[in-house]
Structure 1
Amino acid sequence: MKQLWTFAIFAVFLYSCEDLQDNNPALQGIKNGNELWKATFFSSDIDYGGFLIEGRNSFETVQLVTSNDTQGTFNLGGESASVAIFKDANGVVYSTANAPDPSLSLYPTDGQIIVEDVVNSDPKTLIGTFWFHAYTADGLNYFNFSEGVFYNVPLLGGLVVIDNGSICLQATQQVAIAFLAFNAADSTSPEYPDICLAYKNALTAQINACGDSSGNLQALVDSLGDCL
């Protein structure tokens, strides 16, 4: 199955890219419906407990952030902890974490990041596809990316999420969701340790994303102990 997927991804690149050579890292897609966009730099990292995949050229950057570091499909928009970000040549940031202004009747913020394979090479590399609709923070400006593909993007580390404000928002939302489950859990039930640990991990992710100058979040983490 892995070989079939690798062949399929490579076939997509042969169709849409010129001069692509076997196994060369790449990240590309269709920008705003009609422009082929290619990255000249590609890297990935594990951040906030998930993959951070980045492609950029001389002027623009695409970042894909997943909620965990495993293969799978990650839906974007709404309360999703996964997010796609585009920074244009003027420094304007578009994100699937931003909602469109109610006055607009275009597309909602949505999309998908599909991590199809984590290749166990040295370094590890990521293969998958993506598409998304995103907005600026005020919800008034729209951007879309379709037919996106990342192929053999190396897991090198050292990346920083562009739009940390959105990541903080997503982390805060995940804490709220985890707290609801934790608050409803019976401490004597077999499921309690896993529910407690999920809440603890969400709090830790919020600290990493948002900071914790008051120490209140860390105090909550400490109060949970070993979740046993």
Structure 2
Amino acid sequence: MSAHSERLLRELYASLGQRKRPEDVAQLIRDLFDATPGSLDRRTRTALEKATRTSLRSLWHGYTSMLEDFARPVGAQRQLARAAALFATVTALPEAAGDDPAQVEAVIRAAGEEIRKEYGHSDFLSDRLNREQRAEAGLGEVSKRQYNKRFRLLRRMEAKLARILVEQHKREITVIGKSGLASRLPYEEFTADAGTAAFIAYLTARANLRSEFTVSGQQRPYDEVADALFRRLDADTATWGAAATLAG
């Protein structure tokens, strides 16, 4: 597989958990098949050409006002940066760490050990150490003000972590409600067959369309392009288990 095809497959895989316009996913699929000359039958090529007429690449302004992702929780990047400034045991972390609950929790636990704070015990009245307790814990050189500042930060970080977990769960439920379990597919299974990957990515994009308030009913995800992509699947190489993760 060429580097170009690999990049396109990664973009298609990323789209499973996003809300990209079906036209733009169709453009990625068309590019993917164009990278392998002769891989498209006339019916599928015609359907893709029709769909991509309104892709962002085809439009002169190349812009959409619609968000291309489901709402994501605000991460703990700011709190992690503050922790790195206050705690000697905490090092600066990459931006993505603020969206990873496991890394945020690890920082809270490590920083808590530095001031002898137990994870989950954040009551400002009953869980703080007094002067004698700080001295016994080897924190005699830490002033009450500095200790309280660190305690408050860890308390806020624990609350922030709880909010992130709730919002991530809500987002996951929303995505699954729109397009089934497609967003949970492992990358290796998704890319095992390019044709199946194209079908899954396009139908997922269609399923993730925003609901419309209309008397004629909602658009059905399975359209002309989805049908063409499905019909060109090879019965011997298609990964039917992966395709079955889509909502019915």
TM-score band, normalised by the shorter chain?
under 0.3
Higher Cα radius of gyration: 2
- Relative contact order, CA 8 A, sep 6+: which one is greater? 2
More strand by share: 1
TM-score by length of 2: 0.19
More helix by share: 2
TM-score by length of 1: 0.20
